[in-house]
Structure 1
Amino acid sequence: MEKILEVTEVKLAVLESFPPKLRIDTLGKVPTGGWSNPRLKPHIHIQAPPDGIYGFDFVADPPAGPAVEIISPIEVTDIWENSPGGVKGVRIHAAQNSKTALLAGAGQPERQPNRFTLTDSSKGTRIVFFPRTLTPLGTSESAAEAQLEYHGLEGQLVFRGDEIAQEQTALGLVVSVVLKPNADAGGLDFALILPPVNLGGEAHQDFDTLGIRIRSRGRLINPAGAELTYDVVHLKGVAEDIPVL
């Protein structure tokens, strides 16, 4: 099972049923012939998306043997039963892009933050985080890699893409990076807790949150006791929706 190459069209409709069901028709492209079993794999949302748009991956099974090297069309129709309340649309992801379809009458989704700036004046820590974002709704939505800029006692560091771990938890989105790899002298990670922030139609909102410096023991000495220690950093944050150029 792999993501298809590209999503080309998404249509969303409400079926006349009780309870209501949503029909998702999706067209796309695969890099060769011979792909089979196309399907939509829903993202796991611990909390409802603030904009009401739910994510799916368009996946299929690649050919097991040799295949014609030609970009080929692929399509899937999915009936979404027991969809949660507040759904405004769906966003279908492929390897190279994604596309969004909105329910009729849903209007444009609410503004969502695409830059978080966090500071801790007492310890001289400043973090700027750009989550994995999308270009404005339109014919093509190309996903941009997440980026985190860290300024602190450990120096000025920039992390991108796979260097940043993101996980939705009951606390919110936990974003973590490795400041110092775990070697003989021990390692240092930094975890940032980002709560869901509703901009309420504004360009920015202030909030408070926490960062955690996580120190691990070195490999040469392994005494009894906890292998990790935590230093909690209280942060003042600003969530912003900045224009995508």
Structure 2
Amino acid sequence: MQTATTSSSSIPTAGVLTPNQYVLGGKGVRVEFSATSITGESLLHYQDATHEVNARGEEIRQQETELGTLVTVTLEPDADAGALLLSVIIPRAQLQDTRGEVQIVTNAVLTRSRFPRLPADAQLQTYRFLSLRGVATFVVS
């Protein structure tokens, strides 16, 4: 792999790179995900009409699946009312160099978990699906 040297680090300029920065949006929703940052931690910012959540490091759960990387954060941790989780599917993508960007079309799921008030037959999770579009880039940190 060829590299161009800057004063502080070596930056890949040729070869295939995996994007590490995703900026996505949909109807009233914005999601920014950095697979790594200057501290080495993953970062996720989520915003909609009623939530603005910043998560980092261990607050972000990542799982490799056949769909891509499933990135999950807790938006509302309330155990009494039920938790609200955001899970974003980060699809596999590639870039030819650090100046490139790739268009991303994906989905996210808001999962509401509830606890039954009385012993009863009940569905304990409901889902809301979000269509997201945006770009993925490679950011040198």
Q: Answer whether TM exceeds 0.5 for this pair.
A: yes
Distance 1:156 1:184 in 2: 21
Q: Corresponding residue for 2:70?
A: 174
Could you tell me how far 1:182 is from its partner in structure 2?
4.2
Letter in 2 for 1:117: V
Partner of 2:56: 160
The percent identity for this pair of structures is: 31
| Per-residue deviation, 1:221 | 4.1
The residue that corresponds to 2:8 in the other structure is none
Distance 2:103 2:93 in 1: 9
Which residue is 2:29 aligned to? 125
Is 1:188 matched with 2:84?
yes
1:240 aligns with 2:132: no
* Superposition pairs of residues 194-209 of structure 1, within 5 angstroms: 194-201=90-97, 203-209=100-106
In 1: Cα distance, 2:118 partner to 2:87 partner: 25
State the aligned residue count. 129
Q: Which residue, 124, 128, 131 being the options, matches 1:227? A: 124
The answer to whether the aligner puts 1:218 opposite 2:115 as a matched pair is: yes
CA RMSD of aligned residues (A): 2.3
Distance change (3 Å), C-alpha of 1:218 and 1:118: same
2:21 equivalent in structure 1: 115
TM-score, normalised with respect to structure 2: 0.80
User: Does structure 2 retain, via aligned residues, the 8 Å contact 1:154–1:179?
Assistant: no
Higher relative contact order (CA 8 A, sep 6+): 2
Provide, for residues 112-156 of structure 1, a one-character-per-residue CA deviation record: whole Å limited to 9, x for no partner.
Answer: 212100100x2x1101000036x8xxxxxxx70000011113321
State the 1:236 CA deviation: 0.3
Once the two structures are TM-superposed, the CA of residue 222 in structure 1 deviates from its matched residue by 4.9
In 1, Cα distance between equivalents of 2:121 and 2:127 = 17
* Unmatched runs of 5 consecutive residues or more in structure 1: 1-107, 136-142
Which SS does the other structure have where 1:183 is aligned? Answer: coil
Q: Runs of 5+ in structure 2 lacking a partner?
A: 1-13
Q: When the two structures are superposed, what TM-score results if normalisation uses the length of structure 1?
A: 0.48
**Would you say the 8 A contact 1:203–1:242 is kept in 2?**
no
